[in-house]
Amino acid sequence: MGDITDAAADASGPPTLTKETNLFMQIVVNPDGTVTRPEVPLVPASEVAGGVISRDVPSTPPPAPAPAASASKLPVVLYFHGGGFVILSPATVFYHGHCEAMAAAVPAIVASLEYRLAPEHRLPAAYEDAAAAVAWLRDGAPGDPWVAAHGDLSRCFLMGSSSGGNMAFFAALRTGGLDLGPATVRGLLLHQPYLGGVDRTPSEAGSVDDAMLPLEANDRLWSLALPLGADRDHEFCNPVKAMAPGALAGLPPRCLVTGNLDDPLIDRQREFARWLQDHGGAEVVVKTDVAGFHASELFVPEIAEVLFAAMREFVSTGDA
């Protein structure tokens, strides 16, 4: 599965953010089609860290009886990290720290998925892994000692950031008709979902020198992640253009879409949120007017707290 974090350590300090030092720009495509990824510090799961404990768990333990729900128990957030489908992991230092901080701030049990990366495993491989993780809420989570002791499986949420936000959306579509037994997915939390298209939006066109997601890197990531021969109007990249609205029927009842004003993807995210509002049956909460750059919540605690506050409000809505 990856890390599972129980309600917080701050994310690592902000790196020097320039196009030249950008991690995505350091990806080397090899002649055999694989890539050499930049080295990023990793943090092992730890028993105690800043008021939060974390550990690694397998994604397919044997099923076990579900614990009884309790008002004192924590919601369970199944989290998908970003990295353009190509780099990073739950153990990446800033994602590990982000999940610890999230677990403490919401508070929640946060399970962060280790999934297959492109181009060695192009989409839909990551979606398949995400859907399997949703099934873990039924088959594995009830028997997990932390979930049994502290988690309320009747309050599960799928969340992702950037490419992880894209994954959370497609995982929800793939598992909308799945019987999850004791688990109930109450909603989606899609933070700065990674989307694209053949025609540039104004925010994309202005991102040539963006420090976090420059246009060249954005194009490279999609070329590595999409199925061979697909362009950026494929449904995995541009669902607004490529998908029939009827495909949204299986989404959870509520959806939160968040984004930052200086993100090159902000135009896509707003278009996507309007599409969900107009064509999906879910209640859609949109908060795309937050100051910050793409992934700034990983490095700027004040922006992370704005996100966590939106999460707390969304997750608590409807609780007794």
Q: Please identify every residue annotated as catalytic.
A: 162, 263, 294
Q: Is the peptide bond before 107 cis (omega within 30 degrees of 0)?
A: yes
State both tokens at 117.
Answer: 């990366």
Torsion, CA 212, CA 11, CA 156, CA 271, rounded to 10? -20
Long-range contacts of 234-240 (CB under 8 A, 24+ apart): 236/123, 236/124, 236/127, 236/166, 236/170, 237/195, 237/196, 237/197, 238/195, 238/196, 238/197, 238/198, 239/169, 239/195, 239/272, 239/275, 240/195, 240/197, 240/271, 240/272, 240/275
State both tokens at 49.
Answer: 């860290």
Report CA torsion sign: 303, 127, 148, 57. Answer: negative
For residues 298 and 309, give the distance between their C-alpha atoms in angstroms, rounded to a whole number.
15
Torsion, CA 198, CA 203, CA 209, CA 210, rounded to 10? -110
Q: What DSSP letter does each residue of 255-305 carry, written as one string?
A: EEEEEETT-TTHHHHHHHHHHHHHH-SSEEEEEEEE---TTGGGT-HHHHH
Contacts of residue 80, Cβ cutoff 8 Å, sequence gap at least 6: 112, 113, 115, 130, 158, 159, 160, 161, 163, 164, 165, 167, 168, 171
